[in-house]
Structures are given as structure tokens and as C-alpha cells.
Amino acid sequence: MSKKRKQEISRREFLEGTGAAVIVASAAPALAAQVPAASAAASESSTVPRTTVRVIVNGTPRQIEIEDRWTVAELLRDHLGLTGTKIGCDRGECGACTVLLDGKPAYACSNLAAWADGRTIDTVEGLARGGQLSPLQQAFVEHDAPQCGFCTSGQLMTATALLAGTPHPTPAQVRAALAGNLCRCANYNRIVEAVVAAGSTTGRATQAGGAQ
């Protein structure tokens, strides 16, 4: 092998060795930093104030110890397994996380779980009865109200509260009630049609029951 060839190999090996050394040297501080960070996170979790709350979720009394920083959305999704409540903007603007607190629509992402102590929480999982969709849910299906479906549970909960207080809403009343629930598919017309239809269905069922 020529002297020139030996010099080329030597330079290549030198550069490869230097590059590996730089990578190891740069990665070492980051790897070392992960250990204190993990320890700090565990320590923080152990020192966060905790409270035991009693709530009625979809008709079932629940008692659970929570961290005071948890939101209602976190309580429902992460600790009660009720993932029908969606988290969209996580800042109280889109309405995807809407649940009913004592029968009134509320953004679950913007209410602390501690504030729900002693209150009732209704979620989309509680709308169906005996395996049967509620009239509102059925109307959503029949009128193709859901599109991507992400906002649907929030829309349903707000509309459920509306129908409880106004059994036969007009389209204008539905639009006003659902103003805080955004649909990124912009399927608002069919959502309004579905809620109005559900009110009409409820009215017919009530009349039929009174005629018997």
C-alpha cells in the first residue's frame, strides 16, 4: 500500500474517531440530566396537594382522591375511563369537552375537579339507556349531524341541557345555545336540524303518553 493511501486512511479514521467522541461528549450531559429531571417530577407529584371528592357521575356516586390541579376533563378521561369527553383546545374555547355540571353545560377542561365536589356530572356515556340511544342521539344519526365526530359529544351535551329546559326549541334557539360549541367540519345546519327534530320527537312521545 502506498504512503499516500496510508495517509488517507489515517485521516478518515481520525475524523470518524473524533466525530464519535463529539457525539458521546454532547450526549453525556443530556443523559445525565434525565435522572435529576425524573427524580424532580416524582418528587413534585408526591408533594402536590390532594383532596378526596365525592361526585355523582352519570347517576353513579363516586369517591376519588384527586390532585388539586386536575381538571374535570382529566378526572373523567384519565381516572374514570370516560373518554367520550374530548379535549380540543384545552382552553375553554371550542366546547368539545362540554359536560353537564348539575344539569348545566360546562367546559370540563376549564373546571377543576375539586370544584365538582358534591355535584353531579353527566357525560355523553350517560345519554343512552338500556343500550338504546337517546332521542337526541338518534336524531344526530338520522340527520348526519356528526362528521369527524370530535365535537359531537360536546354538541350532544349542550343540546341535552337545552332540550331539558326548552323541549321544543326553534332553530334560532338551538343556534344560540350551541354558540359555544365549535364544529371544525362546519356541519352546523345539520346539527341544528337534528336538535330541532329531537324536540319534535320528544313532543310526539309526550303527547302519545298523555293520550293513553
Task: For 61-102, write each residue's pLDDT tens digit.
Answer: 999 999 999 999 999 999 999 999 999 999 999 999 999 999
pLDDT at site 45 = 62
- Establish how many alpha carbons lie within 13 A of residue 5's alpha carbon, considering only the half-sphere containing its beta carbon: 2
What's the CA gap between 76 and 65, in Å, rounded? 13
What's the CA gap between 48 and 177, in Å, rounded? 37
**105: helix, coil or strand?**
strand
**41: helix, coil or strand?**
helix
Helix (H) or strand (E) holding 40: helix 3-47
Residue type, 41: A
Q: Beta strands 98-101 and 50-57: pairing type?
A: unpaired
Supply the CATH classification number for the domain 46-126: 3.10.20.30
Q: What is the DSSP string of 122-187?
A: E-GGGS-BTTB--HHHHHHHHTT--SS-TTHHHHHHHHHHHHHH-SS--HHHHHHHGGG---TT--
Q: What share of the chain in percent tops pLDDT 70?
A: 73
pLDDT at site 200 = 87
Supply the CATH classification number for the domain 128-212: 1.10.150.120
Confidence of residue 3 (pLDDT cuts 50, 70, 90): low
16-30, 81-95, 123-137, 173-187: the lowest-pLDDT one: 16-30
Q: Where are the domains of the chain?
A: 46-126, 128-212
**pTM of the complete model beyond 0.85:** no
